[in-house]
Amino acid sequence: MKRILAAVAACLALAGAAGATTYTADFSSITLDPTLTPYAGASYITSGNGNLTFAYRPDEAGTDIAPGVFTNMLFSGDYTATITLDMTNIPTTGPYNYYGAGFCSTVQSSGTGICANSYNNGTPIANGSITTNGVFTGASAVTAANIVTFQLQRIGDVVTDSMSIDGGAYQTLATYSGSGVIGDVSFGIFNVSNAADGATGSVSFSNFSVVSSDVPEPASWGMMICGLGLAGAVMRRKKTVAGSRPCYA
């Protein structure tokens, strides 16, 4: 799992921003929002009716692969990013079944990636996690629900990772601070599954928005061939219960 988060972070290096705005991804059309770019498993990603849906990708050479997208723009200054994740359309049985999805922000200059994600192999669990230059450095885990809204909020040099269930108040998953969280960021949305164990179903995202103190600008992606490193991330875990070692750890 650490390798998946490291690869997600690596896929989110961007360039240039200025101004103030609210960004909202458009999931109403069957055509993927042009502000989003797939980094793996494009044929397993569909858009429409207000949802971005990730089907589980079949196993490839004994590995697990994470379909996902990233914003092809970056955001500067303070921001509040939110997204709603629906994991009700997944099975949760089997000795190694593992299902997870979420979203991350990654700072271009420091390589710091902060993620809010959820997984369900019998008990829904939500995590806050952080990687620095591809090195996993910590996570938290709390009992969640199959439908949860995640929020990543940066104010100054502090990023707060939170979740909300059924429209309730946000519950803090983790807080990260320091110079590593400062700088231009991009956001990635991802799904992971243990396809080798016959995973089926899908997860859906909706209501993805970013309120930023600076206007995002398009980035140059000439050298961004992401997904390398996402293929080959093996995720075989036995049934996890609330309070045990979190996924993404």
Give per-residue pLDDT as tens, 198-223. Answer: 556 788 999 999 999 876 655 533 32
Fold of 2-229: Jelly Rolls (2.60.120)
Q: Which amino acid is at 61?
A: A
CB 181 within 8 Å of CB 112:
yes
Q: Is the pLDDT of residue 234 over 60?
A: no
Which segment of 20-29, 60-69, 105-114, 209-218 scores lowest on mean pLDDT?
60-69
Query: pLDDT tens, 121-177?
Result: 677 888 888 887 667 776 778 888 889 999 999 999 999 999 999 889 999 999 999
pTM, two decimals, is 0.76
Residue closest to 71 by CA, chosen among 149, 8, 150:
8
**What is the model's pLDDT at position 51?**
95
CB 195 within 8 Å of CB 48:
no
Backbone phi and psi for residue 194, each to the nearest 5 degrees, phi listed first = -90, 80
- The rounded distance, in Å, linking the Cα atoms of 29 and 15 is 27
Average pLDDT over residues 90-99: 59
Enter the tokens of residue 222: 């000439």
